[in-house]
Homo-oligomer: A and B are copies of this chain.
Amino acid sequence: MRTMVTTFSYPSSTYFVRSCSIRENHDQVKQPVNTGIRTNGSFRSPIKVETLSKIAGTTSTTLGQAVTVDENGLRQNIPTKKQLVDPHRQGLITEGGVGYRQTVVIRSYEVGADKTATLESILNLLQETALNHVWMSGLLGDGFGATHGMVRNDLIWVVSRMQVLIDYYPIWGEVVEIDTWVGASGKNGMRRDWLIRSQATGHIFARATSTWVMMNRKTRRLSKMPEEVRAEVAPWFIEKQAIKEDAQEKIVKLDKEAKYMNSDLKPKRSDLDMNQHVNNVKYVRWMLETIPDQILERHQLSSITLEYRRECGSSDIVQSLCEPEEDEKLHGVVEPDYCTNLLNGLSSDIINGSGVLTYLEQRPLRYTHLLQIKGEKQNDEIVRGRTRWKRKIVTMPFST
Contact = CB atoms under 8 A, between A and B. Distances in A.
A92 to B, nearest CB: 14
Given A171-B77, A293-B269, A200 B105 contact: no
Name A's interface SS: loop
Q: Number of contact residues on A: which range applies?
A: 35 or more
A248 interface: no
Contacts of A74: 114-116, 171, 394
Contact of A108 (B44, B67, B270): B44
Interface in A33-67: 44, 65-67
A124 B109 contact: yes
A63 to B, nearest CB: 8
A89 interface: yes
Q: How many copies does the complex hold?
A: 2
Nearest to A393: B73
A11 B107 CA distance: 13
A95 interface: no
26 contacts: A11-B109, A44-B108, A65-B199, A67-B171, A67-B174, A67-B198, A67-B200, A73-B394, A74-B114, A74-B115, A77-B173, A77-B174, A88-B103, A88-B199, A108-B131, A109-B281, A111-B274, A112-B273, A113-B272, A113-B273, A118-B270, A143-B172, A268-B289, A269-B288, A269-B293, A270-B285
Interface of A: 11, 44, 65-67, 72-78, 88-90, 103, 105, 107-109, 111-116, 118, 120, 124, 127-128, 131-132, 135, 143, 171-175, 198-201, 268-270, 272-276, 279, 281, 285, 288-289, 293, 296, 393-394
Given A65-B175, A74-B171, A109-B128, 5 more contacts: A11-B109, A107-B124, A108-B128, A115-B274, A269-B296
